[in-house]
Amino acid sequence: MDLRKTLDSYPQVFVVCDRTVEAFARLLGDYPTLTFYASESTKTPETAVEICRWLLEHGADRDALVIAVGGGVTTDLVGFAASIYKRGIRYANVPTTLLAMVDAGLGGKTGVNLDDYKNMLGSFRQPEFTWLLPDVLRSLPRREFLSGAAEMLKTFIIDNREDGYARTVKLLSDFAATGVSPVDTSAGLEELSALISAASAVKQDIVSRDPLERGERRVLNLGHTWAHAIEWWQHQAAGAPARPYTHGEAVAIGIIAAARKAEELGIAEALPAPSPASSAPSPSAPRRLSEKLAADFAACGLPTELPCSEDELAAAIARDKKAEASKGSGSKTVNYVLPVRIGKVVISAVSLPS
Ligand code: GLY
């Protein structure tokens, strides 16, 4: 499929892009283009209204297609604006970050922040398409690349399609060890592209079965209960780090916390014993799922430990929009997504102390 030809088949096309990728967005064609600074602080209802006003001023009608070019903030925000403009027009994503390619740009969750509450206003509206161009990742800073890679690891822990988990760990640990990014070699880019396709197929399959997150789709929140709490804690707490974790880094930490919780509840399976044919297992070889994940993530260059105590995160976990009040009792229930093994997770409702 040719992106230009696809875009030309729509009667009206508008582009909204993050300023950092404006030059790239202009390559899509000579379409009216609105640029803005994409960040959590501009991911607001006000910016969504500005996008709608700009669409109106430029004569966008109900047949128009809006293209979001950028990372997850851009795809969430533009998708939200498209979902409310004239009661909803079509939009498509051209993600420019790994995170948006494997997660945010797929599945039709759109949204903006409301004050300190992340993604508190939003809608489900599926994009017309999400165009994956892994070459674009050449200009992505390493930390942002790793942040997206954490979501890719998350996806393969949910469904280890095409042995994606081990292949992603290998790709990232080679990157960490050599300093050569997979996007800078043709073999690396080919492998990365295959992994992006596999991860996006896993997500698309889950979303096709549960587009509105009534049940199964919740598995995609693996690690996110802790991740959202960490993000909130670093935003609020006086002792928060000067260099806060990115969303993906917080997800990596959250996945390990989820594995520990799964072990505590007896849900995680023991790791398979090393085969007798292999050389004597090293005493430091991981014995539990959480240990394996922590060793793999550390080799990939991802953080693995909570930045504060579980107690400090408890309040943040309870205030997350995914924590639900249980009927009839004053307590709240959190649907934890817990890994059983690599390739299998379960959803477990746990009551929080009231
Ligand atoms: N990012 C999780 C989801 O799209 O459901």
The response to whether residue 248 sits with its C-beta less than 6 Å from ligand 1 reads no
Q: Output the CA angle 49-50-55, nearest 5 degrees.
A: 95
CA of 54 to the centre of ligand 1 (A): 28
CA of 218 to the centre of ligand 1 (A): 8
**Mean pLDDT calculated for residue range 17-36:** 96
What is the SS3 assignment for 251? helix
- Residue bearing the CA closest to ligand 1, atom 2: 220
Length, in residues, of the chain = 354
Query: What is the strand order of the sheet 324-325 is part of?
Result: 324-325, 332-341, 344-352
Looking at residue 310, its pLDDT comes to: 83
pLDDT band at 147 (very low <50, low <70, confident <90, very high): very high
Looking at residue 309, its pLDDT comes to: 86
Looking at residue 279, its pLDDT comes to: 63
Q: Residues 38, 99: contact at Cβ < 8 Å?
A: no
- Residues contacting residue 197 through CB under 8 Å, at least 6 positions apart: 132
pLDDT tens column, 75-130 = 999 999 999 999 999 999 999 999 999 999 999 999 999 997 889 999 999 999 99
- Enter the CATH code of domain 3-136: 3.40.50.1970
In order of 105, 172, 202, 213, the CA distances from 160 in angstroms are 21, 16, 9, 21
Which of 218, 220, 224 to probe ligand 1 with, by most ligand atoms within 8 A of CB? 220
* Predicted confidence (pLDDT) at residue 280 exceeds the cutoff of 70: no
**Mean pLDDT calculated for residue range 195-200:** 98
CA of 183 to the centre of ligand 1 (A): 25
Q: Ligand 1: which atom is nearest the Cα of residue 104?
A: 1
Report which DSSP code applies to 102.
I
What is the SS3 assignment for 109? strand
Tell me which of 255 and 232 has the higher pLDDT: 255
Q: Ligand 1: which atom is nearest the Cα of residue 218?
A: 5
CA of 50 to the centre of ligand 1 (A): 25
- Residue bearing the CA closest to ligand 1, atom 3: 220
Q: Ligand 1: which atom is nearest the Cα of residue 206?
A: 5
Report the distance separating Cα 61 and Cα 198, nearest Å: 36
Report the distance separating Cα 64 and Cα 31, nearest Å: 12
**All CATH 1.20.1090.10 domain ranges in the chain, comma separated:** 141-270+287-354
Which of 80, 125, 203, 216 to probe ligand 1 with, by most ligand atoms within 8 A of CB? 203
Report the distance separating Cα 281 and Cα 274, nearest Å: 7
Looking at residue 108, its pLDDT comes to: 97
The response to whether residue 167 sits with its C-beta less than 6 Å from ligand 1 reads no
* Predicted confidence (pLDDT) at residue 320 exceeds the cutoff of 90: no
Q: Residues 256, 338: contact at Cβ < 8 Å?
A: no
pLDDT band at 353 (very low <50, low <70, confident <90, very high): low
The response to whether residue 71 sits with its C-beta less than 6 Å from ligand 1 reads no
What is the full DSSP assignment across 22-85? Answer: HHHHHTT-S--EEEE--STTT-SHHHHHHHHHHHHHTT--TT-EEEEEESHHHHHHHHHHHHHG
What is the SS3 assignment for 8? helix
pLDDT tens column, 150-197 = 999 999 999 999 999 999 999 999 999 999 999 999 999 999 999 999
Q: How large a percentage of the chain has pLDDT more than 90?
A: 77
First and final C-alpha spacing in the chain? 54
Q: Residues 192, 183: contact at Cβ < 8 Å?
A: yes
Q: Residues 25, 33: contact at Cβ < 8 Å?
A: yes
CA of 223 to the centre of ligand 1 (A): 12
Report the distance separating Cα 300 and Cα 309, nearest Å: 24
Q: Residues 301, 175: contact at Cβ < 8 Å?
A: yes
Where is 154: in which H helix or E strand? Answer: helix 142-158
pLDDT tens column, 45-73 = 999 999 999 999 999 999 999 999 999 99
Active centre residues (catalytic)? 87, 109, 151, 203, 213, 217, 221, 224, 228, 247
Q: Residues 88, 60: contact at Cβ < 8 Å?
A: no
Report the distance separating Cα 335 and Cα 345, nearest Å: 12
- Residue bearing the CA closest to ligand 1, atom 5: 220
What's the token pair of residue 343? Answer: 């390739």
Which of 147, 221, 228 to probe ligand 1 with, by most ligand atoms within 8 A of CB? 221
**All CATH 3.40.50.1970 domain ranges in the chain, comma separated:** 3-136
Q: Whose structure tokens read 């396709």?
A: 197
The response to whether residue 103 sits with its C-beta less than 6 Å from ligand 1 reads yes
The response to whether residue 107 sits with its C-beta less than 6 Å from ligand 1 reads yes
Q: At what angle do helices 247-264 and 289-300 cross, to 10 degrees?
A: 160
Which of 217, 218, 320, 337 to probe ligand 1 with, by most ligand atoms within 8 A of CB? 217
Tell me which of 3.40.50.1370, 3.10.200.10, 3.30.70.250, 1.20.1090.10 is the CATH number of domain 141-270+287-354: 1.20.1090.10
How far is CA 29 from its chain centroid? 28
Report the distance separating Cα 335 and Cα 234, nearest Å: 23
The response to whether residue 220 sits with its C-beta less than 6 Å from ligand 1 reads yes
Q: Ligand 1: which atom is nearest the Cα of residue 207?
A: 5
- Residues contacting residue 103 through CB under 8 Å, at least 6 positions apart: 72, 148, 151, 155, 203, 220
Q: Ligand 1: which atom is nearest the Cα of residue 220?
A: 2
What is the SS3 assignment for 197? helix
Looking at residue 317, its pLDDT comes to: 81
